[in-house]
Amino acid sequence: VEFGEVVAAALERAPSPGPGFEIVVGVGLPRVHTDPVVLQLVFQNLIANALNHHDRDSGTVRVGHTTIDGECEFFVTDDGPGIPERAREDVFRIFRTVGRGEASEGTGVGLSIVQKAIDGLGGKIWIEAPESGGTSFRFRIPHPAAGTDPLSGHGRASDLLG
C-alpha cells in the first residue's frame, strides 16, 4: 500500500478544513504492507478529530511518518488546544469526548474506532503533547513480509464495529 495514496483517500473523506486551515502531508512517504481500508479509516478519523476539536479558526494539521529503530512511526499532529495528560486514555473510550468547558463537536466514537483498528493490525497508538502545543497522535503497526496476509491473526475492516 502506498502510504501517500491512503492519506489522499482519507483526506477526500475527512471534513473539509476551513479556509484558515492547512493540512501538510510529509514527503517520501513509505510503502506499507497492511489493509488500506483500515489505514485510511485511521487517518480519516485522526484528521477529522484534529479539525473538529481545534480551538481557533485557523491552524495546521501535519500528517507523516518518521523511522525509529527501523520501524515506521506514523503521526497526525495539530496545533490546537491539546489534550490534558489525565484525559489521554479516556479519549479512546467509546462515547467519551474531552472538551474545554464547552460542548464538544464529536460523538466520542472516532478515536475508539481508531484504537480498535490499530489494535486489529497488531499495532499501538498513543498521544504526545508537542512542546509547541497541540496534540500528536502517533502509532506503529507491524510490517509483515510481502506476500503474506497483513491481517493474519488480526481483525478486518468489517470487524471494527462488531
From the list 15, 33, 36, the residue with the least C-alpha distance to 157 is 36
CA separation for the pair 33, 142 (Å, rounded) = 9
Do you know the residue count of the chain? 162
Give the model's pLDDT for residue 34: 86
Position 68: which residue type?
I
| 86 three-state secondary structure | helix
pLDDT at 147: 47
Q: Which residue has the cell 463537536?
A: 105
> Given this model, what pLDDT does residue 105 score?
58
pTM for the structure as a whole: 0.82
Given CA atoms 54, 59, 65, 67 in this order, what sign does their dihedral have?
A: negative
pLDDT at 43: 96
- At residue 48, the pLDDT reads 92
162 residues of the chain, pLDDT tens digit each: 888 899 999 999 988 888 999 999 998 778 888 899 999 999 999 999 999 888 888 999 999 998 888 778 999 999 999 888 887 887 887 766 665 444 455 667 889 999 999 999 999 999 999 888 899 999 998 865 444 444 444 444 444 444
What per-residue confidence (pLDDT) applies to 146? 47
